[in-house]
Chain A
Amino acid sequence: MSTNDNQIKHLKREILVRITEAFLSGDFEENARKIPYAMRPKGCEVDLRCCVHKERAVIRDRIVAGLGYPIEKDDECTLLSTYAKGAAEREKPDEEILTVLQGACKGCVPSTVYVTDLCQGCVARPCKTTCRFGAISIINGKSHIDSSKCKNCGMCINACPYSAIAKIIVPCESVCPVDAIKKDESGHARIDFSKCISCGKCISACPFGAIHEKSQIVDVLSRIKEGKNVVAMIAPAIAGQFPYPVSKVRTALLKIGFKDVLEVAQGADVTTLTEAADFKERMNEGQSFMTTSCCAAYNELVKKHLPEIKPFVSETGTPMYYTAEIAKKRDPDCITVFISPCSSKRKEALDNPNVDYVINFEELGSILVAMKIEVNNLEDSEFETKSSKEGRNFPLSGGVAEAVKSALQYQGENIEVMPCVINGLNKQSIRELKNFAKNGKCPNGNLVEVMSCEGGCIGGNSALIAQRKAQKQITDYANEGGPVVKDSIEQK
């Protein structure tokens, strides 16, 4: 990870800490208004941008996103205090989950192909002959690309024997698996929400940190302050996210003011069993493959871009779905907060009346910092229901397919499970899925596990710990869990 990425994370997190501090201070509106000035006081050194005013303006935009509002609709003259007030009072979070900071995005050049100084002015001119659009001409002995004719195809890049032609890529555009984000004429990236699957890849890719999730921390803190029964549901990926045991993280959440903490791995166990039953039925009916349905970004992909694969997608709900159901059954008036590494879960939560809010690991961490909670010094606390090994392994690529396989094995079912793991959604894996749907079969297995993030949920955009380490921590924690079937039978 580069220093630059760390700087952006530091900045994003500092803003979340300051918003939380302002909220806790007793005068939220006034202190929220002051954040840009506190962070860039009069006469301070400016290291990132041209001047202190520009820096404050970009920080202000980040705060708007941190308060849960879209920058796209911001008129730049609404006071932060007005936003803060609105955030603390609003009933429901905003619809779309992402927003692009225009001020931060401006510095990044639109995608262009251009000829560098390395051009030797050779006689062969393979670039000129390769270009199918007649965009290349010779000026002063060197090749020149006419941008009005260039279609950005990149053919000339491969043709040049000196590697003299280069392409500037737009990071967010190039990682988006569904072409949902594009720089518009004014140079600002815009997300087309009718295409966006909320995968969060653009958030991690942008070197300017211009893409923000609209945070719901203020909503959550407000409900806690109102004394509501706010329940935290922690995604199994959390086991890999802190250098402290999950039992201490649980205590930390109680200290923040959550009344109870449930492991979403508990819901994952329901997912496993339901999915195993679904799989068995489909195989017995002669269907050639089934795909999993636990990744929210994949579910959005199916809805918006791949309806043809729908008949092969399991009908099973996600672990979050079942966990929220358990929580609301116990107390219909409780407020459920899903804590996850994933931006697409926000989208899923908006469509599920049982999930009230979502905060990510970064936001949770920032609340801990603001409240000065030293997790390592806390006592351990126990979960009421212990989840299984399989459920705890869900956030690792391959974990869901493995869980279904072991469930069927425990049940003594004689069905062969051949997992085909799609580890990360990108243009190529989407094409593969399309082919499975078109041909009605998958050549590599009968249980297709799809996860949008590489490595599984631990690769989510708000992850705090490097993947390999996270993976080890999760495996260790999972090994403390019991087998999925035994536990769930005991529950009944």
Chain B
Amino acid sequence: MEKIEVEICMGTTCFIMGGESMQELASILQRKYQDKVNTKGIVCHGLCNTDCQYSKAPYVKVAGDVISEATVDKVLSAVNKKLGEEA
């Protein structure tokens, strides 16, 4: 089975707007899905830079799909959905 790639933005905008939860996201994903997901940190997806798009930060990509105003719950349910599709 292919691993699901989760790209967490560590750029300044996403970091500031994301609050503490984004920093915990990687370890939560690790704990929950272990080798089913591949988590990596990215420096700016380039999504925050257009007009006022910082207000939709933080951004996380799950298998290429952009999640804006990301929260731990949103990301987890996106990952669950992907896993469900593959199974």
The chain A residues found within 8 Å of chain B, CB to CB, are: 1, 3, 5-6, 9-10, 13-14, 17, 38-39, 242-243, 362, 365-366, 368-369, 372-377, 464-466, 469
Contact = CB atoms under 8 A, between A and B. Distances in A.
Nearest to B69: A10
B11 to A, nearest CB: 6
Contacts of A376: 10-12, 43-44
A465 to B, nearest CB: 6
A17 B52 CA distance: 10
Nearest to A6: B19
A243 B10 contact: yes
A372 B13 CA distance: 8
Interface string B2-37: 000000001111011111110110000000000000
5 contacts: A1-B20, A1-B21, A13-B17, A362-B16, A369-B12
B15 A17 contact: no
A365 B71 CA distance: 19
A453 to B, nearest CB: 15
Contact of B20 (A13, A368, A377, A465): A465
A34 to B, nearest CB: 12
A465 B19 CA distance: 8
Nearest to A367: B16
Contact of B23 (A3, A243, A372): A243
A492 to B, nearest CB: 39
Interface in B58-73: 69, 71-73
A297 B52 CA distance: 37
B23 A465 contact: yes
Contacts of A465: 20, 23
Contacts of B73: 3
B31 to A, nearest CB: 15
B55 interface: yes
Contact of B16 (A5, A13, A466, A469): A13
Nearest to A244: B12
Give the top 6 A-B pairs by smallest Cβ distance, nearest first.
Answer: A365-B16, A6-B19, A9-B19, A466-B20, A376-B43, A369-B13
Contacts of B69: 10
A10 B43 contact: no
Given A6-B21, A365-B12, A465-B23, 9 more contacts: A6-B19, A9-B19, A365-B16, A369-B16, A373-B12, A376-B10, A376-B11, A464-B16, A466-B20
A229 B66 CA distance: 43
Nearest to A364: B16
Which of B11, B15, B23 is most buried by chain A, counting CB atoms within 10 A of its CB? B15
Which of A5, A13, A377 is most buried by chain B, counting CB atoms within 10 A of its CB? A13
B77 interface: no
A250 B71 CA distance: 30
A3 B55 CA distance: 16
Contacts of B48: 369
Nearest to B72: A3
A460 to B, nearest CB: 13
A369 B24 CA distance: 21
Nearest to B10: A243
Given A38-B52, A369-B54, A1 B43 contact: no
Contacts of A5: 19
A362 B17 CA distance: 9
Contact of B15 (A10, A14, A242): A242
Nearest to B54: A369
Contacts of A17: 54-55
B49 A372 contact: yes
A371 to B, nearest CB: 10
Contact of A1 (B12, B13, B19): B19
A469 B12 contact: no
Nearest to B55: A14
Which of B10, B21, B24, B72 is most buried by chain A, counting CB atoms within 10 A of its CB? B21
Nearest to A374: B12
Contacts of B71: 3, 6
Contacts of B44: 374, 376
